[in-house]
């Protein structure tokens, strides 16, 4: 498990006792990938995700040289772009559902 081995770390943002934002960051050598970035719907558009992205990155610098996020085309992706991330690859998938 990555957390036990020390390769993954988790951050949370709290409003009093309530967890309102969280993310993980898994470091693999000089590269790290953000995991499961979330903000409670009641707390969106307040800069919580951006603050967590920065806090997590600062905790691993200068060891980590490259940060990676995998995101679908969404409002969240715009948050990442405003934080300085660039789209370098687009992943497309297809699904065929069985007929009823």
Choice among 1-15, 39-53, 75-89 with the minimum mean pLDDT: 1-15
DSSP code of 73? S
Residues 22, 52 contacting (CB under 8 angstroms): yes
CB 8, CB 18: distance < 8 Å:
no
> What are the extents of the domains in the chain?
8-82
The CATH code of the domain at 8-82 is: 3.40.630.30
Distance CA 43, CA 39 (A): 7
Looking at the chain, the whole-number percentage of residues with pLDDT higher than 70 is 94
């Amino acid at each position: 498990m990555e957390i036990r081995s020390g390769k993954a770390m988790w951050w949370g943002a709290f409003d009093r006792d309530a967890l309102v934002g969280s993310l993980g960051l898994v470091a693999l050598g000089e590269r790290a990938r953000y995991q499961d970035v979330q903000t409670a719907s009641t707390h969106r558009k307040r800069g919580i995700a951006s603050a967590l992205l920065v806090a997590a990155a600062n905790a691993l610098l200068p060891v980590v040289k490259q940060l990676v996020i995998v995101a679908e085309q969404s409002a969240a992706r715009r948050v990442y772009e405003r934080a300085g991330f660039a789209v370098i690859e687009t992943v497309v998938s297809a699904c065929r559902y069985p007929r009823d």
